[in-house]
Amino acid sequence: MSYKIPMGPYHPALEEPYKLDMICDGETVCDAKLHIGFNFRGIEHLAETRNYIQVIALMERVCGICSFIHTLTLCQAMEKLTGLEPPPRAQYIRVIMAELERLHSHVLWAGIAAKLMGFKTMFMTCFELREKVMDVLQAISGNRVNYSMNRVGGVNRDIDDPLSLIPVIDALEREMARTVIPIFTSSRTALSRCAGIGVLTHEKAISCGVVGPVARASGVRQDLRRDAPYAAYQEMQFEVPVQPGGDVKARLLVRALEILESCKILRQALTRIPAGEHFAGDGKFNFISGTATARVEAPRGEVMYSVSWKEHARNPSRVHVRTPTFVNMPAVRYMVMGARLADAPLIQASIDPCYSCTDR
């Protein structure tokens, strides 16, 4: 006899509200339905009531983890409508901030995944590492969550001594390579919870249009930093980790390898950052009428902003945001089908969902 098990909207495995109604046969999940929108905020429409300074602060609050990425994408779209080109130093600072944000997001996720596996020591280790990244972000921006770094035409703050940050990156990379990655990839606890669990096949990943590490863990070689480079990414040498497995282990491995690649990018950006101004112009600019679109590879995958403006208007006439979780979430249905009920919390967490982004 089949029965329905609801998980959420308030559940120990979920930091934010969403609901997964699972149809089970015994311990096996046969099908699932997802429900979102418990905290829908109407931010896109609210953005139409904000001017070109206020809208940056508003969109920074779409997500608490990748707040920099949201303002970066928005500012890149706004720059296309104003004709302001950020100077090279600003482009490098944007890469540094984006990669630090990726590091802290991936390490945070590794910690939460460890907790869901029942591996609390690893949770503490990951959060200690994340704290070091947060310290660097705070040292650069003065903030721990909403960094207020981006502006139209560049960034608000310079990095005074970029080379002083390299030892922190070295230490983080050493700890990841020496402790976190080997334990996640070889310990019996981690493998028994991750290997062969929550599989999203390559075909289904393409059909669902999933993005970011979820796509790359299903063998889809896709990364905007390489496919459509922005900021200073065209000057960086890095690999795009891809795993064919499609299971929780593959998603874990992709993020772990991306942490190492982020360290590689950070080291290049910090040593090669060019001298000069960190923003263009004198703060005065005009918008042309039209629509501009920008895309950025966030820690969870592609973020896209479409911004529409009328000439001389203070406010945008439309801001549309396509967040990565919004396209990755429907794939959870296929990941949990056939899985054990007890694995469902870890499987849904393996896409690194952000309901704040989804309920924007």
Partner 1 sequence: MSTLETISETHNSTGTWTEEGGVFWHNDPGLNVREVAKAMNAVGARFITITAYQLPKDEGFRLEYHWDLAGRLLGFVFALPGNSVESGKVESIYDLCEAVDWIEREVHEGFGIDFKGREYEPLLLRTGDLPGVNTRDAAAPAKSSPGLPGREEVAR
The token duo for 116 is 């869901």
Shortest Cβ 152–partner 1 spacing (Å): 15
Q: Which of 295, 337, 340, 341 binds partner 1 (CB under 8 A)?
A: 295
Question: How far apart, in whole angstroms, are the C-alpha atoms of residue 103 and residue 336?
Answer: 27
**What is the full DSSP assignment across 108-149?**
HHHHHHHHHHT-HHHHHHHHHHHHHHHHHHHHHHS-SS----
**Residues from 185 through 214 that contact partner 1 (CB under 8 A):** 206-209
Task: Please tell me whether residue 61 binds partner 1 under the rule CB under 8 A.
Answer: no
d(CA 193, CA 205): 22
Is residue 84 within the footprint of partner 1 (CB under 8 A)? Answer: no
To the nearest whole angstrom, how small is the minimum distance from the Cβ of residue 292 to partner 1?
4
Rounded to a whole number of angstroms, the minimum distance from the CB of residue 24 to partner 1 is 20
Interaction pattern, residues 308-327, with partner 1; x per rule: CB under 8 A: x-----xx--x-x-x---xx
How far apart are the C-alpha atoms of 280 and 174, rounded to whole Å? 37
CB of 228 to partner 1, least distance (A): 4
337 binds partner 1, rule: CB under 8 A: no
- Cβ proximity to partner 1: between 118 and 209 the closer is 209
Q: Among 129, 90, 111, 149, which residue's Cα sits nearest to residue 263? A: 129
Tell me the Ramachandran region of residue 192: left when phi exceeds 0, alpha when psi lies from -120 to 50, beta otherwise.
alpha
State the amino acid at position 201 in one-letter form: T
304 binds partner 1 (CB under 8 A): yes
Q: What phi and psi, each to the nearest 5 degrees, are found at residue 146? A: -95, 105
- Does 37 bind partner 1 (CB under 8 A)? Our answer is yes
Nearest to 97 by CA among 343, 294, 273: 273
Distance CA 80, CA 33 (A): 40
- Of 10, 25, 26, 49, the one binding partner 1 by CB under 8 A: 49
Binding residue for partner 1 (CB under 8 A) from 58, 77, 110, 344? 77
Q: Any contact of residue 290 with partner 1 (CB under 8 A)?
A: yes
CA distances from 263 to 93, 125, 165, 337 (A): 15, 18, 11, 36
23 binds partner 1 (CB under 8 A): no
Closer residue to partner 1, CB minimum distance, 65 or 224:
224
Binding interface with partner 1 (CB under 8 A): 33, 35-37, 40, 42, 44-46, 48-51, 77, 80-81, 206-209, 222, 224, 227-228, 290-295, 302, 304, 306, 308, 314-315, 318, 320, 322, 326-327, 329-330, 359
